Amino acid sequence: MWRETFKIALREIGRTPLRSILTCLGVVIGVASVITMVTIGSGATLKVQREISKMGTNLLTIRPGQFRHGGVREEAPPFKLRDLQVIQKQVQGIRSIAPASSKSVQVVFGNKNWATTCTGTNSSFLQARNWELESGRSFDMNEEKRGEAVCLIGQTVKRQLFGEEDPIGNVIRIKSVPFRVIGLLKEKGMSFGPDADDVVLVPLKTFQRRIAGNDDVNFIYVSVEEGFSIDRVKEQIREILREQRKLGPNELDNFEIRDARELLEAFSGTTRTLTLFLGAVAAVSLLVGGIGIMNIMLVSVTERTREIGLRLALGATQGDIIRQFLVEAVILSTLGGFIGLGVALGVSLLLCKLFLLPFVFRPEITLLAFGISFAIGVFFGLFPARKAAHLNPIEALRHE
């Protein structure tokens, strides 16, 4: 019974191939849109997670905040090296802690120059920020204590000043001060703002004496040991900084402690919400496709009225007629689903390459899209099928 029903359905669909393809088009667009939007959204979420993980594992970023003075918003005073030393001494669970101060500078090598960011820090900076060296070495303790003119450079600075030449051992000038390059950082790429590789790292004491002309510390990076509570470490640091900065019980913090997890959750939540929204908008196309299928099936019922009347007169039941038209509607919708899947995979791969996103295939979304396309065939095919099954055989045979 079912085999014959499928054969008849395929024959009827094949009689008007162009109309059948156009009927499927709405479902094709709907399925392709939903799968593409979810795939792109999943890729964007994964990229966000990878980019944030580059910033450091279990990372806390501490920086001076802002406060209001006489109705005017002002920057809070910077940290001092003693703040970092107190935190390192009193807080348990710290894997590494690094101070950082930055300034825009012009670096020169030979006849080439480049505007970049010079950051004064210590050797713990690389561990705290989950950054590795491609070649060379980091600062040693003596170089940090003496404030020697040595530096590590990022990949962007290397390309601009040295091209393919090995920079290790060469001397560059920063604000007319010669610095010897002792290390080359591995590439991090763009990560939520400026190019992370467009940087020169120097010992903090060297930076304060020769570049900035002060003893300020603008950032403190704290990497927390695995197994320790980040929230507990964060609270201990907050208490120490309030004491160090002599804040009263009723005074607000004039510094900020940012947790990498909060950033990850915020960005991931945003991309997921946007993906759901775009997927819901794309799903409207499935509704339009279902209406198209119902419309064509109603036309088909009108065109085949005499055939339906003849089948009813020869003993076909209403169930047989309903089954026939439902099978045709389901075949059209699932055919649209298969074509839509192929289109979605092709478009998703293209867009992922274009926007430099990882391709994330979601089997459950594909199954859901097919389930919805099948349901659309049943739902929108049921009304035309019932209309065909309830035709009066005599009136149907008289139909011209």
- At residue 122, the pLDDT reads 94
Average pLDDT over the chain, rounded to whole?
86
Tokens 């459950």 correspond to 364
pLDDT at 153 over 90: yes
Residues 362-375: what's their mean pLDDT? 79
* Window from 43-47, 219-223, 342-346 with minimum mean pLDDT: 43-47
For residue 130, pLDDT over 60 is answered with yes
What is the per-residue pLDDT for 400?
A: 58
Confidence of residue 35 (pLDDT cuts 50, 70, 90): confident
The string of pLDDT tens digits covering residues 198-207 is 999 999 999 9
Using CA atoms, how far apart are residues 103 and 76, in angstroms rounded to an integer?
18
Please give the pLDDT value at position 275.
73
Question: Residue 109 in contact with residue 78, Cβ under 8 Å?
Answer: no
347: three-class secondary structure by DSSP: helix
Query: For 369-385, how does the pLDDT look when each residue is reduced to its tens digit (9 = 90+)?
Result: 778 788 888 888 888 88
- pTM of the model as a whole: 0.68
Q: Which helix (H) or strand (E) holds 300?
A: helix 260-303
Mean per-residue pLDDT, 329-336: 87
Query: Which amino acid, 208?
Result: Q
**Sequence-ordered alpha helix ranges (H) in 78-229:** 81-90, 124-128, 141-146, 155-162, 204-206
Choice among 64-73, 226-235, 293-302 with the minimum mean pLDDT? 64-73
> Whole-angstrom Cα distance, residue 343 to residue 198?
39
Please give the average per-residue pLDDT across 216-226, as a whole number.
Answer: 93
Which pLDDT value is given to residue 85?
Answer: 92
Q: What is the pLDDT of residue 273?
A: 78
Q: Longest Cα pair distance anywhere in the chain, in angstroms? A: 106
Within 10 A of 230 (CB to CB), how many other CB atoms are there? 17
**pLDDT value at residue 1:** 60
